[in-house]
Chains A and B, each alone.
Chain A
Amino acid sequence: MLSLRIAARFLRRSPVQSALIAAGIAVGIGVQVFLGSLIISLQQNLVDETIGSSPQVTVAAAEEGEPVTVTEAVRASLEGDDRVVAVVPVRTFSAIYRGDGASAPLQVVGGELGELDTIYDISGRTLKGAATLAGDDVLVGKEFAATNGLEPGDRAVFVLPDGAESRRTVAAVFDFGTAAANQTFAFVPATFAAEVLGHAPDQVTAVELQVADVFASVAVADDLRGDPALAGTTVSEWQSENEDLLSALQSQSTSSYTIQFFVLVAVALGIASTLAISAVQKTRQIGILKAMGMRDAKAGRIFLWQATLLGVTGAAAGVGVGLALIALFSRFAATFTIDPQWAFVALSFAVGVAVALLSSVIPSRRTSKLDPIEVIQGG
């Protein structure tokens, strides 16, 4: 470990130079940790906001308007897939709300509240009233209720697809976080929707699914399409219907990787130039060590160790800088939570050390090749 000892002394001998280069690595890795965590959290947040509260895979009848029969085999198929976390049979139809001189179209979803909650979390997003779906209950959105002056307990009239009118009681008002969804959706009991649509108890309009990893929806949908139990159905998933969002996420990732790459290049160049300068500064010492019998490889390792020490110190400090930036940003600037991505933090640390090691290759080789005579004769 003589090489390590000499490397440590060389670094201590020039504390300002060593501190500056460690700071350079720290800033680079700090930006890396922060930017990486920011982008990952931002994307998770965006995906969550956009499709987190909606079905990611939908199984409907192959022919539009026809019901899907949810047999035991169908349910077993859907619930048997480990990647699927929620299975919600729904009956949907269009209706028109008729108020005092005003009317508004609605997308009415019929289902069991407990099942609907697994995707839509209506209970958790109830603003007023009590979320229940029994008897003549209807649940409406915040903007819809405000536009039409509806409060829990009010009676509301809906025109059904067959032209008949139905009077229902507003049980609760929910807020999905987007005005469009709040304006469009209303929820009714499954039995009422079955009546409206003329469905048998095992018939539904569609079965909506959520998957644990939202980006696995393509694979899940593909597998379901090949499932014989689901013959006669059509399976759709969110990604093929949200190509713009996906390409935006992709572009965001690409630009983030580009920035991170160039930050690393800048860090590598910084370390390489400092080590190269250090190698020149220490030529005399290396020469005399070689004259007294230090082997070439061992002499070369001095700069490898210097790089390791700088890399480990700088990258560790960089992780601290990155986490501090995340904390500051979360507290003062962000409208969403940035979670430190620990796997990414570990990767950034490793990359920092690796870049430092890579940067030491040239000075190490130069040192290995140094001929002691060059130094000694220079006096």
Chain B
Amino acid sequence: MAEQLLVAEGLGKTYGDVVTTVALSDVAFALERGEFASIVGQSGSGKSTLLNLIGLLDTPTTGSVSLDGKETTALGRSGRTRLRNELLGFVFQFHHLLPEFSVLENVVMPGLVGGGSEKALRPRAEEVLALLGLEGLEDKNANQLSGGQKQRVAIARALLNRPALVLADEPTGNLDTANTALVYELFRKVNAELGTAFLIVTHDRAVAQQTDRILEVSDGRLVQDVRNEFGAPSG
């Protein structure tokens, strides 16, 4: 059996003290290294809350999250921050590139945040940019790129620290059909070549169908966890 990368147990999140809203309740699943999975659900179903908990951006009200064998529930803010930098890559619906920096600088940023030097990080950044078909754009300002290019730079940035897991929240929500297809193709390529696990949150079932495993969240509960034999890349 493949090594477990992520283990979520009894995960729940409740907001409010007096009037409480249960966003997520008793979610349990595990993700193996190199898996290519999606979380699907309607708006407000709790899928983004789940992603935030797994991504250590938020703390659960109940349950626990283990990443790479490390139990994270007891960690403080700085401990979770460090783990995010080391183990996770994020891709959001909006690219969130820093407009003050060039493409290359944006891509090396997670490495700089982790304490690396730009000189040492540059070869890896160029390698990732090449993998995503962004050669030659290194010195451009992030604002000079098209929407699709920006999102690809954001993916490159998510990959810089060689994360074990990339969490993508509606990563193609702002893209046209052609760019959407390209982004998933790239996710697959990275998954295959680097062995990076992907967990993609989407409300679009057609998108989810392209992944190997679909976790469905509804009303804050994990209602389905199925292997998707059609999701495997052709060839």
Contacts and interface: CB of A to CB of B under 8 A. Distances in A.
Interface of A: 2, 6, 9-10, 12-13, 284-285, 287-296, 298, 371-373, 375-377, 379
B226 to A, nearest CB: 27
Contacts of B52: 373
A284 B92 CA distance: 12
A10 B92 CA distance: 22
Interface residues of B, number: 28
A295 B80 CA distance: 10
B81 A285 contact: no
Contacts of A2: 112-113
Contact of B84 (A6, A284, A293, A377): A293
B100 A379 contact: no
B70 interface: no
A376 B96 CA distance: 8
Most-contacted residue by chain B among A295, A296, A371 (CB, 10 A): A295
B48 interface: yes
Contacts of B77: 296
Instruction: State the majority secondary structure of interface residues on A.
Output: helix
Interface string B107-146: 0011011100000000000000000000000000000000
Interface of B: 48, 52, 55, 57-58, 77-78, 81-82, 84-86, 90, 92-94, 96, 98-101, 109-110, 112-114, 157, 169
Contact of A9 (B48, B92, B101): B101
Given A293-B84, A372-B57, A376-B92, 11 more contacts: A9-B100, A288-B96, A289-B98, A289-B113, A292-B84, A292-B110, A292-B157, A293-B110, A373-B57, A377-B48, A379-B94
A369 to B, nearest CB: 10
A109 B121 CA distance: 87
B78 A289 contact: no
Given A372-B57, A373-B57, A293 B98 contact: no
A293 B114 contact: yes
Most-contacted residue by chain B among A13, A287, A294 (CB, 10 A): A294
Nearest to A1: B112
Contacts, number: 66
B100 A13 contact: yes
Nearest to B114: A293
B112 A295 contact: no
Contacts of A290: 81
A6 B92 CA distance: 22
Given A373-B52, A373-B57, A377-B48, A292 B90 contact: yes
Contacts of A285: 98-100
4 pairs of A and B residues whose beta carbons are closest in the complex: A293-B85, A9-B100, A288-B96, A13-B100
Contacts of A371: 57
A29 to B, nearest CB: 27
B41 to A, nearest CB: 15
Contact of A376 (B57, B85, B100, B112): B57
B210 to A, nearest CB: 23
Contacts of B58: 373
Given A377-B48, A379-B93, A293 B57 contact: no
Most-contacted residue by chain A among B58, B100, B101, B157 (CB, 10 A): B100
B96 A284 contact: yes
Contacts of A377: 48
Contacts of A288: 96, 98
Given A2-B113, A12-B100, A13-B99, A293 B86 contact: yes
Contacts of B78: 295-296
B96 A293 contact: no
Given A12-B100, A376-B92, A292 B109 contact: yes
B14 to A, nearest CB: 16
Contacts of B101: 9
Nearest to A12: B100
Contact of B81 (A6, A295, A379): A295
A17 to B, nearest CB: 13
A12 to B, nearest CB: 7
Nearest to A375: B96
A18 to B, nearest CB: 12
Contacts of B81: 290, 293-296
Nearest to A377: B48
Nearest to B115: A2
B83 to A, nearest CB: 8
28 contacts: A2-B113, A9-B98, A9-B100, A9-B101, A10-B100, A12-B100, A13-B99, A288-B96, A289-B98, A291-B57, A291-B84, A291-B90, A292-B84, A292-B85, A292-B110, A293-B82, A293-B84, A293-B85, A293-B110, A294-B81, A294-B113, A295-B82, A296-B77, A373-B52, A375-B96, A376-B57, A376-B92, A379-B92
